[in-house]
Structure formats: structure tokens, C-alpha cells
Amino acid sequence: MNYLATVLNKTWLTPNVFQLSIERPESFTYQIGQALEISLHKDTEFLKAPFTITSIYENDKDLQFIIKVYPEHNGITVALSKLKVNDTILITDAWDSFAYKGKGVFIAAGSGITPFIPILRFLKEKNKIEGHKLIYANRTERDIILKYELETILGNSFDNLLSRDHLSKYGFGRVDYDFLSDTIDSTHQYFYVCGPKPFLESINKALLKLGVNKNLIQLIY
């Protein structure tokens, strides 16, 4: 089913990532961590793509999304970034983007953090964040999405690793076997991984090499 939704607000979080808030259609329902498809017309094209819902209360009047803009594609993310208050878009019913199964390690690269944001917010609010860890890979410090909020939620259980910013206070390098070997204190927990396909393949290979059971690894595409 499709729903017509009105844009309420748009806030830039980093130079190429923004938060979009739309009015929640009255009959629309969802659960934390689910995604939906957004579509809109651009000139003669009909653009559409899936996005995770980052708000956590289905009774709220708005729905929130965190969207990274890819100018080189000149597609839906560019079109969404140009929306103004009171513009309208179409959304579909929500579906499960991944399954939260229990305490463990979230490993994300860039906008791959998006599916984890509502889960982390919910766990913090319910005082169930203890025992979780976030490993987040970016190019530079200014690319870290919701840096201060994630630091507040996770405290010392939030590890940033930057591949192109060795002057930052955060770690410099890439999330690989050696880094995971030094950082992960137990292989007997859940691992949630989201990011570009090469990142997923690399992390999955590293986790298996560390001895993590494949059933404990969830790759989110």
C-alpha cells in the first residue's frame, strides 16, 4: 500500500547526509528497525529507493530518515535533498530490514549506521544498552553521523576508526582482522554489520577467521 506524506523538516547532519522528517500517515504503522520505500517524481522520471525509519515511536506524528546524498548518481537521494517543507512524497508499508536478536557488536561504515540508530536509541531509553558495542568506520571526523548522540548513548563502547584523518582524536586506519582481534572481547555474541558490499565481505571474512559462528553474523545490505 502507498501513502502520501508531507515533508515537515530537513536538517543537514554532515556535508552530505541529512535527516528528513515527514508527517506520518494516520493509518501507517511500523516497528523499530523497519524500512520502507520512498518514491517521488523528478521531471519525467519516477524515482524510488528503500530507507530505514530512524524514529522509534509508531504513535509519533512524524517519521524520520537519515539519507546520504550521492551527487554522482543524480538520483533519488539528490531529489530528496532538494525537498522543501510541505512538499509531498509517496511511502510504502514498512518491512523488516534486519532482525535484532540480542546483545552484541554493531559494525558500520558510513551511512551503514542508519539501520542501527533506532535500535540503539531504543536500547538506551529502556536502559538496555549495556553489553552492546559500536564500531563505526568513516573517512574523516566530519563524516561521523550523529557523533555526539552516539557518544552519549554508548560512552566508551563506541569505537570510531577513520581512514583519511590521522589528526583526529579518533583511531586511524581500517576495520580489519587485526583491529577486530584487538577490539572484540568475545566471539560468542551477535554481530550486526552494515555498509558497502566490499566492507560487508571483508568484515564477514575477518569475523569468521576470528572464530565467530556464521549464525551469529548478520549482514545488512
Q: What is the mean pLDDT of residues 189-214?
A: 97
Contact 103, 40 (CB under 8 A): no
Residue type, 193: V
Q: What is the mean pLDDT of residues 192-218?
A: 97
Domains and CATH numbers, the chain: 2-96 (2.40.30.10), 104-220 (3.40.50.80)
**pLDDT (tens digit, 9 = 90+) per residue, 139-162?**
999 999 999 999 999 999 999 999
Whether residue 200 has pLDDT greater than 90: yes
How many Å apart are CA 86 and CA 119, to the nearest integer?
A: 29
Q: Residue 58's pLDDT is what?
A: 66
Residue identified by cell 551511512 is 111
Greater pLDDT, 166 or 187: 187
Whether residue 42 has pLDDT greater than 80: no
Contact 47, 40 (CB under 8 A): yes
Here the cell at position 73 is: 548518481
Measure the CA dihedral 23/24/30/36, to 10°: -50
Q: What is the mean pLDDT of residues 105-121?
A: 96
- Which residue blocks in 64-210 are alpha helix, DSSP H? 76-81, 116-125, 147-154, 177-183, 197-210
Whether residue 108 has pLDDT greater than 90: yes
